[in-house]
Chain A
Amino acid sequence: MNAYQIGLIIQICISVMTVVAIFAMTGLAGMFSLGQAAYMAIGAYITFVLSRFLDIPYYLTGILAIILCILLSWLIAVPTLKLRRDYFALITVGFSQMIVALVLLFEEYTRGSIGFSKIPRADNLLWITLGALVLFVFWIRNLKYSRFGRMAIALKNDEIAAQSFGIDVYHLKIKIYILASAIAGFAGILMALRNRVITPDSFGWAHSSEMQIFLFFGGTNSLTGAILSAASLKLLPELIRDITLFGTSMQEYRTIIYAVLIILVINFRPQGILGEKEITFKWVGNLINRFKKSTVTEKESYD
């Protein structure tokens, strides 16, 4: 595999990772956030700026960055998750813009909009990313099928009914929000290591809404749907890179393509491509069996 392909795989893995984290938050617990890219920014900037200016290895500052993500998401969650869902979404937009503004304000350290590029080369980034992705998917899958996942789905459906079964809606939401933000922070570090340069505009609300689009495209209630749609929609712009339209690469029309896709999905399949279905081993097995059976019966009918 050449460097371009490895880079692309890492990029797709990071995208899937962030969408999986958003699945836990939006898909399970119904918290619609447009600020998850801000946690990626915190992860990336804290890790590498501190590492450079304090001269500490970046895996130590990385741990610090994740801890900061956890603390900050807790701080954001405590007052805002008491609000109604729509206000929560608005505040997360404000939060992500605030982080971008802070990056620009501390230009001296972050190099502002020029971008911070003193990021060391990481060996085995592909394996680290793949390993982290597998771990996070395993976590979120287990979360969905645990008592926490059930309670989250219940509170998404009907908060009042959930509370009348003793579910502590508020604290459960905080826990899941913190988990999602910590994963986003980690994904931010990986993204910095892959791109070797970080700029504030790559962590704005546009990036966060891209993640939400990926989630809605696959189906908010399906983890496998989220994974598949994040991977395919991230790959799509690369596939059409060489096609040109009006003298520019189709890749530049990415946002328009996403917009068209999301409008199509909302119109024709509002629950997302997979809806509530999960692609499990059992489901695939059944499909193969059915296929085998149908070919066998076809043969028999010939005999």
Chain B
Amino acid sequence: MTDAILKTKGLSKAFGGVCAVKDFTMEISPGTIRGIIGPNGAGKTTIFNVLSRINIEDEGIIEFDGQDVTRKSQIEVARMGLSRTFQNTRLFTGLNVLDNVKVALDHAGEYSLFSALFMLPSRNRQEKLIEEKAMACLELLNLDEFAQMSPSNLSYGYQRRVEIARGLANNPKVLMLDEPAAGLNPEETHMLMDFIEDIMDKYPELAVLVIEHRMELIMNLCGHIYVQDSGITIAEGLPGEIQNNPHVLAAYLGEED
């Protein structure tokens, strides 16, 4: 697998003396879904934060789209096509659902502050384009009827879907989902799985990286899984292999004395 879109090698990050991630190595190719699982405090979200440059690694290499991104900022990797959702949904509460999706497209909007202030035709043309793209994303996740609502009035499951729509808006190369099923009931979780499959059909070149607690979701979706525990990768491989790995069982269920 040489055509990986996102690769890390020997990634480590410590907070104070606590090692959150140690020597994490992974890669993901376009059109595939890979998962990271592990108990609480295993450093899963830290991996996402380092990949999206919210935290800076202590050592290691990150290669995204053929470029070394360890020197790049959060804004730069986002603009290169690395998109993510957050574990505790971080929708912009001051904007309605549609604007939340639009805002992901706005940094690339092609009109100046001047034409915005005077409402020139170029602004109106661009706004229409942005709106069409945002609505298409909402439709993909079956959210179009909530477009004008405030995200804080939506249920948790819908908020997560808005986050995914927002993450997809800018046509990313890699989409990272941070516990997309946390707080969802089984029915909503199944719907989410269907949506992720729809997304993979619609965007065949998209690579999706999922952090999840729930075995069910990750076993069904992912082709390849990394298991983290206390910052260390204790196992990796196909879902079937993971399920029977004694280290994984020990991390999840505790060891026999």
What residues of chain A have their CB less than 8 Å away from a CB belonging to chain B? 139, 142-143, 146-151, 153-154, 156-158, 160-169, 175, 179, 221, 276
Contact = CB atoms under 8 A, between A and B. Distances in A.
B128 interface: no
B92 interface: yes
B104 interface: yes
Nearest to B130: A147
Contacts of A154: 92, 94-95, 103
Contacts of B74: 160, 163-164
Contacts of A221: 94
A25 to B, nearest CB: 14
B92 A163 contact: no
Given A153-B94, A164-B78, A164-B84, A142 B117 contact: yes
Contacts of A143: 113, 116-117
A151 B103 contact: yes
A-B CB proximity, top 6 nearest: A146-B116, A147-B106, A166-B107, A166-B78, A147-B109, A161-B90
A175 B166 CA distance: 25
A213 B109 CA distance: 34
A168 B102 contact: no
Interface string B42-81: 0000000000101000000000000000000111001100
Given A153-B94, A221-B94, 20 more contacts: A142-B117, A143-B117, A146-B111, A147-B116, A147-B126, A148-B116, A150-B103, A151-B103, A153-B99, A154-B92, A154-B95, A160-B54, A161-B86, A163-B75, A165-B78, A165-B166, A166-B79, A166-B104, A167-B75, A167-B107
Given A157-B93, A161-B92, A151 B106 contact: yes
Contacts of B92: 153-154, 157-158, 161-162
Nearest to B79: A166
B108 interface: yes
Interface string B212-250: 000000000000000000000000000000000000000
Given A150-B95, A221-B94, A165 B103 contact: yes
Nearest to B99: A150
B107 A165 contact: yes
Contacts of A168: 75, 107
A153 B166 CA distance: 15
A157 B89 CA distance: 13
Contact of A164 (B52, B118, B119): B52
Nearest to B150: A276
B176 to A, nearest CB: 10
B123 interface: yes
Contact of A142 (B93, B109, B116, B170): B116
B27 interface: no
B79 A150 contact: no
B127 interface: yes
A283 to B, nearest CB: 14
A276 B74 CA distance: 30
Contacts of A167: 75, 103, 106-107
Nearest to B107: A166
Contacts of A148: 106, 113, 116
Most buried by B among A153, A154, A221: A154
Contacts of B105: 147
29 contacts: A139-B117, A142-B117, A146-B116, A146-B123, A147-B102, A147-B103, A147-B106, A147-B126, A147-B127, A147-B130, A148-B106, A148-B113, A150-B95, A150-B99, A153-B99, A153-B103, A154-B95, A156-B94, A157-B92, A158-B90, A163-B75, A164-B74, A164-B78, A165-B78, A165-B107, A165-B166, A167-B103, A167-B107, A175-B113
Contacts of A164: 52, 54, 74, 78, 83-84
